Amino acid sequence: MCTKEQIKRAMDEYGNMVLRLAYTYMSNQHDAEDVFQDVFIKLYEHMDRIQSEAHMKAWLIRVTINICKNKLKSFVYRKMDAYEDGAHSPYIDNNDSFEVISAVTSLPMKYREVIHLFYYEGYQTKEIAHLLKKRESTVRSLLARAREMLKNKLKGEYDFA
């Protein structure tokens, strides 16, 4: 087990990242907050497995992704009719424009997750491949396709010269 101080420090350091990633998947503030709670409960239960700070960050990302995918697959979640305007989330950086956020959240999940990990979390393609259990070439292809989709969605909004 771990101490309250360790969990608080982890929440302070990685909480925003977990919320942003959860929001990327869930597209709903309340569901993202539920995922956040579930992730840090799991951390509390499994803190003894964490070997280093780098391992903790990767572990939190993997657990967040797994919890989100499980919630999205659940019958209860699919039957819920929850509406929330995703572009005004408190978890999205204020410097991000409404159009870009809307375009990213409209991408299919497999593209959204690589865009988030690459641009928002700063991971390299090799690290993303490890986190998502995909080949690095697959991650590069997904990024290229996602960029092309975003370029088409944002045509006229930004100059891509």
Q: What are 14-27's pLDDT values in tens digits?
A: 999 999 999 988 88
Residues 82 and 3 reside in one and the same domain: yes
Residue range(s) defining the domain that contains residue 48: 1-86
Looking at the 3D structure of the chain, how many domains does it have?
Answer: 2
Shared-domain flag, residues 75 and 100: no
Please check whether residues 63 and 120 belong to one and the same domain. no
Question: Each residue of 104-127: pLDDT tens digit?
Answer: 888 898 999 899 889 888 889 999
Give the type of residue at 76.
V
25, 102: one domain: no
pLDDT tier for residue 135 given thresholds of 50, 70 and 90: very high
**Nearest partner of 71 among 30, 14, 40, judged by Cα:** 30
**Same structural domain for residues 97 and 140?**
yes
Alpha-carbon span 132 to 100, nearest angstrom: 24
**Residue 161 reports pLDDT greater than 60:** no
Q: Is 155 helix (H, G, I), strand (E, B) or coil?
A: strand
pLDDT at 53: 80
**What is the pTM for the complete model shown?**
0.63
CATH number at residue 16: 1.10.1740.10
Q: Do 64 and 113 sit in the same domain of this protein?
A: no
Angle in degrees, CA 100, 102, 105, rounded to 5: 105
